[in-house]
């Protein structure tokens, strides 16, 4: 079975990742474990991370680079996930399709909930770095100036704008996340943090700042827009400072693509 690639899922609490002593213990224990890729699933961390929480995550993950294996940040979505890849803390990111952008194991010890229905449809509003419910999107787009500011302007994604986004929000989500990663991958490693700050984060910051000024009747939604703007502004400041301190640091290797057995299987996977 030596030809079988093994992914090691390290599921830990956010507090454990931030603890230098625990990090050293994990690294020591993993040195002699036979695996190909290290997948991090950190409970209490995800797309909604605070700017300082994101900085600490990136700095802590870099300690694991001494294992010299590819690292994947699992259960991390949004601009937080893209930032982790841009700064080289992980060589790949993983999350659900418009869901499971955050991992939380705090309720694993509780009895499972019974009943209920399907998850409410969520729509990615990239300029806010938010997944909103359809009801929230409707209320938001009713505000004067909201549609030209917040609708998808990528004609290869949503040629008819908002109507296409609402018709298939998961497809919109996937295309936008794929675009971010594709554009980031085309940038040389050393320039990726600056590319993220200047292209992705700065653009979202400008949109969120303008969105916070929209006149919306829903007070809760209005507060959400202001929080989004404040968060992205702080994230930019925090990551800009981090970029100055980690320049030249080693980056996590990118997980290699695995080959299937035989050309037929490989062609099906493509």
What was the pLDDT predicted at 116?
A: 60
CA distance 259 to 262: 8
| CB 179 within 8 Å of CB 214 | no
For the chain, what percentages of helix, strand and coil (3-state, to nearest 5) are there?
Answer: 50, 10, 35
What was the pLDDT predicted at 120?
A: 78
What was the pLDDT predicted at 262?
A: 47
User: CB 177: neighbour CB atoms within 10 A?
Assistant: 20
- Shortest CA distance to 220 belongs to which of 142, 122, 140, 151? 140
| CB 66 within 8 Å of CB 96 | no
Q: Which residues does residue 9 pair with via DSSP β-bridges, in sequence order?
A: 39
Q: Is 100 exposed, middle or buried (0-12, 13-18, 19+ CB in 10 A)?
A: middle
**Which helix (DSSP H) or strand (DSSP E) does residue 133 occupy?**
strand 130-133
Q: Which stretches of the chain drop beneath a pLDDT of 50?
A: 262-270
pLDDT in tens, 70-96: 999 999 999 999 999 999 999 999 999
| CB 124 within 8 Å of CB 172 | yes
Q: Residue 73 is encoded by which pair of tokens?
A: 């940040």
Whole-Å CA distances, 29 to 10, 26, 32, 106: 12, 5, 7, 24
CA distance 237 to 42: 24
- Shortest CA distance to 123 belongs to which of 151, 95, 156, 155? 151
Domain edges within the chain: 7-105+119-257
CA distance 110 to 184: 40
CA distance 140 to 134: 10
What was the pLDDT predicted at 250?
A: 86
What was the pLDDT predicted at 106?
A: 84
Pairing of strands 122-125, 130-133: antiparallel
């Amino acid at each position: 079975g030596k030809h079988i690639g093994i992914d090691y899922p390290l599921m830990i609490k956010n507090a454990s990742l931030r603890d230098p002593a625990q990090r050293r213990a994990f690294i020591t224990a993993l040195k002699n474990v036979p695996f190909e890729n290290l997948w991090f699933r950190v409970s209490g961390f995800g797309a909604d991370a605070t700017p300082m929480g994101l900085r600490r995550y990136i700095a802590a993950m870099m300690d694991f680079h001494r294992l010299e294996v590819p690292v994947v940040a699992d259960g991390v979505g949004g601009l937080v996930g893209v930032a982790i890849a841009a700064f080289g803390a992980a060589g790949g990111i993983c999350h659900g399709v418009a869901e499971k952008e955050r991992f939380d194991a705090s309720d694993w010890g509780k009895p499972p909930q019974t009943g209920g229905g399907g998850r409410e449809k969520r729509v990615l509003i990239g300029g806010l770095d938010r997944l909103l419910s359809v009801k929230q999107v409707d209320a938001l787009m009713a505000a004067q100036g909201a549609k030209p500011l917040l609708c998808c302007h990528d004609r290869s994604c949503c040629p008819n704008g908002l109507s296409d986004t609402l018709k298939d929000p998961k497809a919109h989500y996937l295309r936008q996340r794929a675009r971010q990663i594709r554009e980031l991958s085309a940038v040389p490693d050393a320039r990726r943090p600056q590319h993220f700050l200047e292209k992705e984060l700065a653009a979202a910051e400008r949109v969120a700042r303008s969105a916070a000024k929209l006149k919306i009747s829903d007070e809760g939604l209005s507060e959400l827009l202001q929080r989004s703007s404040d968060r992205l502004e702080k994230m930019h400041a925090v990551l800009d400072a981090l970029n100055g301190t980690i320049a030249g640091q080693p980056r996590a290797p990118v997980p290699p693509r695995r080959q299937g057995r035989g050309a037929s299987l490989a062609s099906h996977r493509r």
